[in-house]
Chain A
């Protein structure tokens, strides 16, 4: 089949990455990005961090200057919504009715912040895009008390940014610790300590029963009592934007959410690919579908998807890496800790400078690090090499972890 028209639906980092990868691979047909946002693709990670505190301005978030798209011959259609993908006719249908035909399409629509039903007020904020972040920054600038609902990464980062601004923060979370779902009990307890030490009031293990927002404030009622604040930040997860595909035409993942893609980022519809937060990917490394909401994954996965759109047949098997910056701390993780049979701590949890290595059958499968980026870099090599290691080696700080990975390659 002649490939002359590639379309990318979505305007985040995945879209920009895919466009760049198409051109880098030598594709000289048309590349169109259709994005509902009014600005070219930008970096989302700072939205909950330096953008909220004012340290980074909106202009600095741009992934590429406008010229980049022009120079690459990428048609950037901003402020444009795709209502549907007509997979049979190979065309995008825009909300106004216009159709854009394609030979190959990438769905990189990401998602939207999960909303609290029945609460719609200026004092209740969400955080996903630049406009959300701008509105939240304005609320924080008032200096009035903030309630953060949700102790995930967005909740933790918003709490940290608000504290940097001197704002009073209370965090409400159903689990026993912030980030517990991702990092487990022990590390979650340490993360809780970090937030507490920075003045966040943590109310863990509480379930929200009702939220009332009015012009004079927000009232949250939980199973343990009432909580008042001036602003409520709802950070309870992401809903993948799959509304543009018809369930019968493109397989959706009912468990993880998102659009099902195989190891090559192909959806169940011909010549339709998906990447980034919206893609539930049959991961060759983990042998099951995984959908992650990571900046790095969006960029890498979209680049692989783009090359596959051109016929490359490249398996996407990145182990996944992500980071979070909270206060002066750097949290990073690579690989996965689930399905592992033991964990090993390297460094000092008491000093909040440590890593947790997750092993399965004597091989490193995942690393979480608090202020130990070098362990992530070494862990990446260990994961890739699948070298057999001992818990003693991992725990011993005199052992050069990178060398453990190298040894394997020579045997």
Chain B
């Protein structure tokens, strides 16, 4: 049996960190940034910002070397495809990108990395 965490356990601390100026990420574009030592891929999906770990879950290849088109992010190494909006796998379906919370405030994109 796994130990059950006490219910009053403090949540993992996530801090909002500035990642990029909002104006630098155009709609339909992606760009790699480093936030708090973590390689993060920022995408502007139809005006909404998404932030993922910039590593393909398959073999940890950098995703910014791939392609972001029509709402689909494709890794250039083995052509794994992901839904840019949800981070969920399209092909193969049973995988997902590691996603971070992202928000736009005061003209800056902020990402919550642990």
Contacts and interface: CB of A to CB of B under 8 A. Distances in A.
B105 interface: no
Contact of A373 (B66, B91, B92): B66
Contact of A330 (B69, B77, B91): B77
Interface in B71-114: 74-79, 91-92, 94
Interface in B23-81: 65-67, 69, 74-79
Contacts of A321: 79
Contacts, number: 30
B65, B66, B75, B78 pick with most chain A CB within 10 angstroms: B78
A279 B83 CA distance: 31
- Chain B interface residue count: which class? 10 to 19
Contacts of B77: 323, 330, 373
Contacts of B79: 296, 321, 323, 373, 376-377
B78 A323 contact: yes
A285 interface: no
A374 B67 contact: yes
Given A321-B79, A323-B78, A374 B94 contact: no
A408 interface: no
- Chain A interface residue count: which class? 10 to 19
B40 to A, nearest CB: 20
A64 interface: yes
Contacts of A296: 79
A377 B66 contact: yes
A64 B94 contact: yes
Contacts of A330: 77
B78 A374 contact: no
Contacts of B78: 323
A373 B61 CA distance: 11
Given A296-B79, A321-B79, A377 B74 contact: yes
A53 B105 CA distance: 47
Contacts of A376: 76, 79
Nearest to A68: B94
Contacts of B65: 373-374
Contacts of A373: 65-66, 75-77, 79
Nearest to A377: B67
A17 to B, nearest CB: 10
A297 B43 CA distance: 30
Interface string A314-330: 00000001010000001
Contacts of A377: 66-67, 74, 76, 79
Contacts of A402: 67, 69
Nearest to A378: B67
27 contacts: A64-B94, A68-B94, A296-B79, A299-B91, A323-B77, A323-B78, A323-B79, A330-B77, A373-B65, A373-B66, A373-B75, A373-B76, A373-B77, A373-B79, A374-B65, A374-B66, A374-B67, A374-B76, A376-B76, A376-B79, A377-B66, A377-B67, A377-B74, A377-B76, A378-B67, A402-B67, A402-B69
Q: Enumerate the 6 nearest inter-chain pairs by beta-carbon distance, A residue then B residue, closest first.
A: A373-B76, A377-B67, A374-B76, A373-B77, A323-B78, A330-B77
Interface of B: 65-67, 69, 74-79, 91-92, 94
Given A299-B91, A373-B76, 12 more contacts: A68-B94, A321-B79, A373-B65, A373-B66, A373-B77, A374-B66, A374-B76, A376-B76, A376-B79, A377-B74, A377-B76, A402-B69
